Each structure stands twice: as structure tokens, then as C-alpha cells.
Amino acid sequence: MIDVAFTPSEARAADVAVVIDVLRATTTATQALASGYQRVLCVDSLERALRMRATGRVLAGEQHGKRPPGFDRGNSPAEVARDCAEELVLATTNGAPTIVAASRECRLVILACLLNLEAVRRQLAGADVQIVCAGTYGAIALEDVYVAGRLSAGLDGERTDAALAAEAVARAHPNAYDALAASANAKALVEAGLGDDIEFCARESLLDLVPRVERTRPGLAVAVAGPAGPVVDGAGNVRSVVEPNNPRSGRATEPQPTN
């Protein structure tokens, strides 16, 4: 079954959740992994991100669209494309908390945007898919629904009415840039002087990389570049991305306060 949740509150438990926040969290996370970051640590608050500052980590995020005080980068895919460290800590208003929440409910969470749209499509064959739009402050975001519709239209399987509605939204826009630029979030980015990110986020299928949540902690979901191939094996089981023998898997923990 292919389903779409227009906002995080509509999401349900599923074999696979595909989180979309094309402007800009899932685009930033995907680009970060493509640029050489080993992990993206998605967190549910700015305060948690600041507590996680450590050697080898870069803090990226936004508050009302802009880089918060004390952060190294904004929530901008262009910024994380220029350099990298071992880990990116990502704290945003909508996308990062949605990734964290989905990780509590679904067996596997992957991150989608336009940059990796075709790669995500290839991996979802045969899966029970819940496409979760991050939205904006709990409301529908046009750009996320557009990408959900594009993704749904490229998959085989039975669809819910919500998936069909998202596909209709996608068909109503002649190209990705126009769909993104028509959204309220795009207008807010332009007003904040961040309009170049819209064009960056509208580029399609340039990255053959699908971020997957490898592990979780309270308020934290760790995304890594997942293995190639469909997320469902020949027996219909969802493949795990966890690497139990990888010594770096324990790296993504929140440093404890010191006295």
C-alpha cells in the first residue's frame, strides 16, 4: 500500500516511512551524506543540538528559516555541500522532529527529496510505504505534497486517496522549481535572503544515495547512507540498515553534561 500523510500528525505505523522536507531538511541531510559526512544526527530541538557539540561534529539548523545562534551552518544544502566533518547535527523546525517521530513508529525510515528522487523510487519496490510530509508548523506544505506525489506516481502498488491527491498536486505543476517556488515556505526563504536554496532543492535525481535511519535515542535519529538495493528482500522482509559490528555505531550519543 502506498499512502501519504500530508502532515506528521496523520502518519501511521508502516514497514517503511519516507520523510520529505524538501525545503530543506531532507535535502540538507541527503546532500551532507553525499558530501562526505558519515552520519546526520537529526534532533528534535535546538537545545539538544547545542548539547551535542563535540569534536568532529558540525551543528546545522534553522529557527524561523535562519541559522540559530551558536550553530555552524544554516539548514542549507548548499552550505553542507562545501565542506564536511564526521557528523552533522541537524536541528530544524519541521523536518528533523518529523524524522525523529517517524523513527519511533516505523521499522525503517528513509529520507527523500528531489535530489535523490529516482534512487528512492528504486529502493521502494514491494514495500508498504507511508510517505510523510513534514509540513510547516503542523500544516500542509505545498512543496512536500508535490514531492510526495512525484514519488507516489513512480511506484507500483495500490494507493490510498491521499496518495492519489498528492499525485494530482504533482500533475498540476509543470516542473519542480515552479512547484517549490509557489509555496509559502519558498516565499519565506526569499524574504530571508535564502532564495538560492530553492533552486538547489529543485534539482532532480542527481544523487544515487538514500539516507536511512540507522539507530535512535530519545529525541535523536541517526541517518546514514543506506545500502544499495530494494528495502524489501525476496521474502518480503524489510532490510535493516543497522551495522552492529561497526565500531562507529556507538559514536552518535549525546554527550553528558560535565560539572
The structural domains of the chain, with segments of one domain joined by +, span 2-213
Backbone conformation region of residue 157, classed left if phi is above 0, alpha if psi is from -120 to 50, else beta:
left
Stated pTM of the model: 0.92
How far is it, in rounded angstroms, from Cα 49 to Cα 193? 24
Task: Evaluate whether 177 touches 198 at the Cβ level (below 8 Å).
Answer: yes
Stretches in the chain below the pLDDT threshold 70: 234-236, 240-259
Q: In the CATH scheme, what is the homologous superfamily, with its name and number, of domain 2-213?
A: ComB-like (3.90.1560.10)
Distance CA(212)–CA(214), nearest Å, equals 6
Q: What is the pLDDT of residue 258?
A: 33
Whose cell is 539507530? That residue is 215
The partner residues of 59 in beta bridges, in order of sequence, read 89
pLDDT at position 241: 59
DSSP state, residue 143: H
State the pLDDT at residue 239: 72
The CA radius of gyration of the chain, in Å to the nearest whole number, is: 17
Q: What is the per-residue pLDDT for 76?
A: 97
- The single-letter code of the amino acid at 222 is V
Return the pLDDT at 240.
63
